[in-house]
Chains A and B, each alone.
Chain A
Amino acid sequence: MDARVTGEKVVRNFDQYVDERLDEGVFRVHLDTFRDPELFDLEMEYIWEKTWIFLGHDAQIAEPNDFITTQIGRQPVILQRGDDGEVRAFLNHCTHRGPRLCKTQRGNAVRHTCPYHGWMFDSQGNCMMIADEEAGGYSQAFKAMSHDLHRVARLECYRGFYWASLTDEVPSLRDYLGDVTIFIDAWIDQSPNELEWVKGDANFTYDGNWKMVFENCLDLYHAKSLHASFGNAVMNRFKNMGEDERKSINLDDFVNATAEVSYYNFDHGHGALWIQNQSQQEDRPSYAMFKEMEERVGAKRAELMLSGKVAAIFPSILFVESATFQMRMIRPISVDKTEVYAFCLAPKGEPAEARALRIRQYEDFFSASGLATPDDTAVYRSAQEGDQARVLEWNQGYHRGIEQMQQGPDEKATEMGFNPTLSIHGSIAIQSEAMYVGPYREWLKKMKAGQDSALAKL
């Protein structure tokens, strides 16, 4: 049991961190949520370790005994396909004395032998051997204990994407995701054979709070300003080479505002955005398979598939497509340090030329060695430093587009048959920042529920 929930407990009034008065046109989040280390620990305890956290994709553990290692909040986890083909998630912790059993980010292991005292576990997590057990003088009580690896409370899969929870007290994954699955489907269904994992790690870390990257992926407002250098580079490609062979995302769509956008919030804190009538659709790697998609799923769904779109699944995983598609798994380390594990999933059967274009666009924009993401990470650090201005309690950054917010679906969502809790629709020039309401409502709900349940245990 965590010492914090057994001893003297500071009872926090979490309502003071989220100031939601939409009828008065006000939505603010307290800066302590970005800079208070104790609040960070409570976020781990009440949010990350008490909800569905994304672990990985089927394609990353395709063969029997394949595993990947990850974390749920602060806790080390193995996701492994057993020798029986079933996928399980255990804590990466030898039941004997605690060393991690899988020490690499991925691998294949028929069994896990703890290097410390030699206890051995199979790929289903069962304890196969306690070294020198016979001569060990173990008690009956010890013999009655399960020595198997600790399975996480819940592991569920949505069409190849695995989420897990350390507590049973969560809705089913399907209910948790709700209608945001329409976006996830829009990636999965790009090929009749679904998605494959494109190899190659390009992970990064930044000196800022985890919520910064979550917010950033739903933020179109920063594209023109922060990514001016990216826009510049793309313009120069036309000037110097006559064309941009990487066919990068056109930031002119933001300047000229010919495109439209819908923003959505869903239950359980998920946010999404969908850019419509964007130029250069034929420059997207997915365009290579567009005709086939259109015939298979119909024009409306094919349009969503090809569009720029984002789904931010609270709190741990971002599905981001600007020109091309990247998944970003968030791993909070401390109040001011975050790791981002990025990976590329692509439609199976994509023509080689489209795949190469996908990869170039991915590296160009998304990688920490690219022309956009390093500017994001630099500004997260800078915001983390600026937020130390503790005289100040609030930023003004959640008001853009607040007047356009409507309850329930917009016309586009109704047309597609999904049901968000809040919508904003209009010219892309809105570049709304008001759609963080949903994520912070969930933040508040989980923090309050976590504290209530911790206090009830005192």
Chain B
Amino acid sequence: MDKDQALREASELLYREGLALDRQQWDGWLDLFTEDCELWIPSWVTEHEQITDPQQEISLLYLSGKSYLKERTDRVLKGFSPASVPMPRTCHSVTNILVEECSDDSMVVQSVFRVDYYHHKKCYAFFGHYSHQLVRDQDGWKIHNKRIILMNDFISEVLDVYLI
């Protein structure tokens, strides 16, 4: 696949992911992931060094398998978790999208994100870099792996999948 087409298709997927989260269309968001997906936010060890092994070091978030993602969206839907009642209003911006590798059925895509959110009458933001590994199945592109380098890691009360 040529790089321009890859960039177009990757960009659309990343934008759609952000939009689904902002609109709280949880099923739509989950549909973008493969069953065996991984979502990983490595933690920081020093100012510019992060952990490298989620099995032996503490991550900010390490979810392996779509059911762990669904756990998060169910938590919001059920309304029993004070952390998401009321839900913050979010706005995902994804920019600087670069296709690093691509073939007909897989891509590695780098991007920059900023999620502004409004909670308890205050404005907050998380920002950093995304690295998406995409695979193509019969329905189109899916997220197989989403790795998030979160720059502002001193968490104000809550960090969850809809805020990054």
Using a CB–CB distance below 8 Å, which chain A residues touch chain B?
Answer: 104-107, 198-207, 226, 228-229, 232-233, 236-237, 240-241, 339, 344, 352, 355-356, 359-360, 362-363, 367-369, 371, 374-375, 377-379, 381-382
Are A202 and B43 interface neighbours, CB within 8 A?
yes
Are A371 and B59 interface neighbours, CB within 8 A?
no
Are B71 and A371 interface neighbours, CB within 8 A?
yes
Q: Does B51 contact A (CB under 8 A)?
A: yes
Q: Which residue of A lies closest to B120 (CB)?
A: A381
Are A104 and B67 interface neighbours, CB within 8 A?
no
Q: Tell me how far the C-beta of B70 lies from the nearest C-beta in chain A, rounded to whole angstroms.
A: 8
Are B157 and A368 interface neighbours, CB within 8 A?
yes
19 contacts between A and B (CB under 8 A): A107-B46, A198-B58, A201-B45, A202-B43, A202-B58, A202-B59, A205-B157, A206-B156, A207-B120, A228-B80, A229-B75, A233-B71, A344-B58, A363-B58, A363-B62, A367-B159, A369-B160, A371-B81, A377-B157
Q: Tell me how far the C-beta of B150 lies from the nearest C-beta in chain A, rounded to whole angstroms.
A: 10
Count of A-B contacts judged by CB separation below 8 Å: 129
Which one of A201, A228, A240, A368 contacts B159 once the chains associate, using CB atoms below 8 Å?
Answer: A368
A379 contacts across to B, CB distance below 8 A: 82
Known: A198-B58, A232-B75. 10 other contacts (CB 8 A): A201-B44, A201-B58, A204-B155, A205-B156, A344-B58, A355-B55, A356-B56, A369-B159, A374-B158, A378-B82
Are A378 and B158 interface neighbours, CB within 8 A?
yes
A199 contacts across to B, CB distance below 8 A: 43, 45, 51, 57-58
Are B157 and A381 interface neighbours, CB within 8 A?
yes
Are A375 and B58 interface neighbours, CB within 8 A?
no
A375 contacts across to B, CB distance below 8 A: 81-83
- Complex Cα distance, B76 from A374, in Å, reads 12
**Which residues of chain B from 38 to 74 have any CB-CB distance to chain A below 8 Å in the complex?**
41-47, 51, 54-62, 65, 67, 70-71, 74
Q: Knowing A229-B78, A363-B62, A374-B83 are in contact, say whether A200-B155 is a contact too (CB < 8 A).
A: no
Q: Which residue of B lies closest to A339 (CB)?
A: B154
Q: Does B153 contact A (CB under 8 A)?
A: yes
- Complex Cα distance, B75 from A368, in Å, reads 15
- Complex Cα distance, B85 from A382, in Å, reads 11
B160 contacts across to A, CB distance below 8 A: 369, 374
Are A232 and B78 interface neighbours, CB within 8 A?
yes
Q: Tell me how far the C-beta of A287 lies from the nearest C-beta in chain B, rounded to whole angstroms.
A: 18
Q: Knowing A200-B51, A229-B80, A369-B155 are in contact, say whether A241-B67 is a contact too (CB < 8 A).
A: yes
Are A200 and B57 interface neighbours, CB within 8 A?
yes
Q: Knowing A229-B80, A229-B81, A232-B80 are in contact, say whether A201-B153 is a contact too (CB < 8 A).
A: yes
Chain B positions 138 through 164: 1 when the CB is less than 8 Å from some CB of chain A, otherwise 0: 000000000000000111111110000
Q: Which residue of B lies closest to A200 (CB)?
A: B58
Q: Which residue of A lies closest to B154 (CB)?
A: A203
Q: Which residue of B lies closest to A340 (CB)?
A: B155
